[in-house]
Amino acid sequence: MKDMALWNEGDWIVAIAAVILTAFLVIGALAITRPKEEVMGHPKGLYVLFFAEMWERFSYYGMRALLVLYLVKHWLYSDGGASLIYGAYTSLVYITPVLGGWLADRYLGQRKAVAFGAVLLTMGHFFMAFEGDGSGYANDPTLNIFWLALALIIVGSGFLKANISVIVGQLYPRTDMRRDSAYTIFYIGINLGAAAGTIIAGYLGETLGWAYGFGAAGIGMLLGLVVFVLGKPLLKGQGEPPVPAKLKEKVAGLNLEWLLYLVGFVGVAIIWMLIQFQEAVGWLLLVSGILLLGYVLQQALYKIADNSGKVSDGSTSGVFYGGVGILLATAAWMIIQQGADTIAAIGGVLGLVLVVAACVMETGKSASDARDRVFAMIFIILLMPLFWGLFEQAGGSVNLFTDRYVDRQGVPTSLFQSINPIYIILLGPVFAGLWQFLAKRGWEPNTYAKMGLGIIQMGLAFIVLVWGANNFSSANEAGTLMLPVLFIFLFYLLSTTGELCLSPVGLSAINRLSVRHMASLMMAAFFFGTAGGNYVAGFMGTLMGEGGHGGEITREGALEVYWSMGLVAAGIGLGVVLVSPLVRKLMHLDTLRDDDVGDDLLGQSEGPGEAQGAGIHPETRPQG
C-alpha cells in the first residue's frame, strides 16, 4: 500500500469517497435493523430500495467511467469506434426497459423482474474483468467475453431499471404527501452510488488495472442483489406478480416464470450479436422508435375514451396507419441505402403529415383530456434525444478530451465523471427549494419551460468549455494546449443544472400524466427517447476526429463540434420555452384526478429536481 505521505489528489479523493460510502452503509444498516416500522418517517422498504439501487448505480457508473478509456487503451479501438460502441451500449441500456417493464406489468411483477435483472447485471460486471492478452480487438478472442458482458448488463438493466422505481411508489398511498421526499431520498441513493462507483472503480481501473475497476463494479452489483433479496420482507408484498398463479402454468413443458427467464437469456444472445454491429443498433432504434410512438398514438387516438366516455369510431385510422406505413417504408429504404436521400426526405415528410393529420382530425371530432396529455408527453419525449445526445458526451468524447487536453493535475480521468452526481446531491435540494419558492409567488416556470431551460444550460456548458479552451489554455511540456481544469467543473455544473431542470421534471410529468393502463408504456417511451440520445452521443463522437471520419479525436475537431452543439442546443431550448404555454394547455392539469395517475408508477414526484410539476397539487375528487 502506498505511503500516505506520497498520496496525490486522486488517492485522497478515493479515500474520502470510501469513508463516506462506508458511513452511509453503517447508518443504513443501523436504520433498517431497528425494531420500528418506519425510519425518519418512511417505511424501511424505501431504504432497502435505496441501497439496492445505490449499488446498482455504483456498478453501472463505475463501469461507464472506464468504458471508452478501456476500449481505446486496452482493446485499441479508434476514438470514433470506441464512441460508437459506447453510444450503442448506452442506448440499448435504455431501450431494454421496454421489454422488462412490459414483462413485469403483465407477468413477473416488479420484484421478480428486479431480482432477475440484478442477477444478470452481476454476471455481466464480473465478465468485464476478463481482459484478455492486451493485443487488441483484432487479435484477441477474449473480445467475445467482453461482448457477452455488455449483453448481460444491457438485458439486466432492462429488467431492473424502470421496475425498481415503480416499487418506491407502491410503498405509499396515492395521496401520501411523503412521496415527494421519498423520491428525493431514492434519487440521492442513485447519485451517491454513481459518484462512489465512478471514483472507486475508476481509480482502481486506471491505477491498478482494468480488471480491478470492473471487478469492484461487479462486487457492488452483487451487494445490491444481496440487499434486495434479504430486504424482501420490508417491501410489504409490493411489486408482486399481478396473477401469481399464472406464473406456474405450463408453457412448452416449463413453468411460465422460468420460460420468461429463458426469454431473458435469449435476449442476451440476441444483444451479444447486435452490439457487435453498432450501426445496426442505430437502424433498430429508428424502426422501433416509429413502431413505439406509432403504438402510443394509436392507443391515444383509438383506445382512450373522450371526455364523454366514448371511444373513437376509427374513421381516421386509414390516414393514420398509412402515415405510419410510409414512415416504416422510408426507414427500410434508408437502411437499404445506408443513409438518407431525397426519396427518404419526401417519404418522411409525407408520413409525418399523414400522422399529424389523423391526430388533428381526431382532436376535432371530440375533446379528450387524456388524449391531449399523451400528445403533451410525446412533446416531452421528443426532447430526450437532443438533451441526452449532448449530455452523454461526458462518458464519450468529453472523457477522451479530458484525458488528453485538460490539465488534470494528476487526477485519473475517470474520476471527473463523479462531478455530475456530486453536483446533483448538492444542488438537488436547492432546486427543490427553488421551485417551491417560485411556486408560492406564482413565478414557477411550467414543466415544459423548465425542460427548455435545461436544454439551454446544456448548450451553455459546451459554449463555456469552448470559450475557456480558446482563451485560457496553456501549453504543457510537450507543447499541447491544455485547458484549465476549472472549465471542466463549469461544464459539469451547467450540464447538471440542465439535467435537474429536465430529467426529474420530465420523469414526473410522464408519471403524473399517464392514464392507468399506459403508465409503463409511456415510461418505456421516455426511456426510449433517452436511448436515442445515447446513440446520437456516440455517433457525434465519430465526427471529431481527423477529417471527421471517426479517427483520433483532435482538439480543434472537438472544439468545433462542441461549439456547434452549444449554439444549436441553446437556440432549440429557447424555442421550447416559447412554445411551453401551448404544451402546458395539453396537460389539462386542472382536470387531472388522483386516479388518473398510473397505478404502477403511483404519482412519482420529481425527486430533488422539483416537488410538484409546475407547483400544482391537483385536488382529488370523489369518484362516482
What are 545-569's pLDDT values in tens digits?
765 566 788 899 899 999 999 999 9
Beta carbons of 74 and 210 less than 8 angstroms apart: yes
607-623: per-residue pLDDT in tens? Answer: 333 222 222 223 333 33
Average pLDDT in the chain = 84
Domains of the chain: 1-276 (1.20.1250.20), 279-367 (no CATH), 381-616 (1.20.1250.20)
Beta carbons of 109 and 240 less than 8 angstroms apart: yes
Q: What pLDDT, on a 0 to 100 scale, did the predictor assign at position 547?
A: 59
Q: What pLDDT, on a 0 to 100 scale, did the predictor assign at position 569?
A: 95
Burial class (CB in 10 A: 0-12, 13-18, 19+), 312: buried
Estimate to the nearest angstrom the gap between the alpha carbon of 357 and the chain centroid: 32
Task: Using 50 as the pLDDT threshold, list the residues of the chain that sit under it.
Answer: 596-624
User: How many other β-carbons are positioned within 10 Å of the β-carbon of residue 287?
Assistant: 15
Of the candidates 263, 281, 262, which has an alpha carbon nearest to the alpha carbon of residue 147?
A: 281
Tell me the C-alpha distance between 376 and 448, whole Å.
Answer: 9
Q: What pLDDT, on a 0 to 100 scale, did the predictor assign at position 594?
A: 58
What nine digits make up the cell of 401?
478530451
Q: What pLDDT, on a 0 to 100 scale, did the predictor assign at position 557?
A: 87
Tell me the C-alpha distance between 611 and 534, whole Å.
Answer: 27
Q: What pLDDT, on a 0 to 100 scale, did the predictor assign at position 550?
A: 63
User: pTM value?
Assistant: 0.85
Tell me the C-alpha distance between 281 and 271, whole Å.
Answer: 10
